[in-house]
Structure 1
């Protein structure tokens, strides 16, 4: 597990910092075109998960002073290839990006 600012990240994948300015940072995580299941927990809209097939990488855009980040799912290596993004509040939690055979599980736990 790594800690960057207030983010606690537990990932089975390597990451690299592709942008860092003041307290803002972008982490690039290559997941090699796997499917991604996002566990949504107690959502009022979704029952259990959201699934995205064939994702090249995940980009985490964080601010070290905040507990909010934007997660971008990328179709290709190009930073303009994001096809979905969502905001996560990781207050008092661990953000997980885990390999589960041929898919990736994104979740957070307390």
Structure 2
């Protein structure tokens, strides 16, 4: 599934659902069935050798601003179905990247990829 809105692009093997919206923000949920998430960062610092790993993630929540000229989002890794069960989160500028979420049998690969053509 490919999800695109307000410069945010997600290419996911899992369903991406809009769950909450207000005048400024939109929340997306990607249920991944309590798996380990291996997050790979494009151009990561040399001291990160491969990935950042988040064990036992039930869902990925992405909250992003829908206002024009604001390309900031927060990515939350949820431990259960409640939106307040964040075990880790980070903020990023998505104006020049896209997110890939790929399913494997026992884990999920999440890649933050720089879009060269932008």
Give the structure 1 partner of residue 17 of structure 2: 16
Separation in 1 of the partners of 2:76 and 2:55? 14
Deviation at 1:81, TM superposition (A): 0.8
Aligned mates of 1:40, 1:47 — CA distance in 2: 10
Question: 1:42: Cα distance to partner?
Answer: 2.4
Q: TM-score, normalised by structure 2?
A: 0.84
User: Structure 1-normalised TM-score?
Assistant: 0.90
The answer as to 2:74 corresponding to 1:73 is no
Q: Secondary structure at the match of 2:82?
A: coil
Identify, as 1 or 2, the structure richer in strand.
1
| Paired positions, count | 110
Runs of 5+ unmatched residues, structure 1? none
**Residue deviations 1:32-57, cap 9 Å, x none?**
00110010232235222101111100
Matches within 5 A, 1:33-48: 33-44=34-45, 45-48=47-50
User: Greater CA deviation, 67-76 or 44-53?
Assistant: 44-53
Provide the alpha-carbon RMSD of the alignment. 1.4
Unpaired runs of 5+ in structure 2? none
In the alignment, the residues of structure 1 paired with residue 14 and residue 44 of structure 2 have an alpha-carbon distance, to the nearest angstrom, of: 27
Which residue is 1:97 aligned to? 101
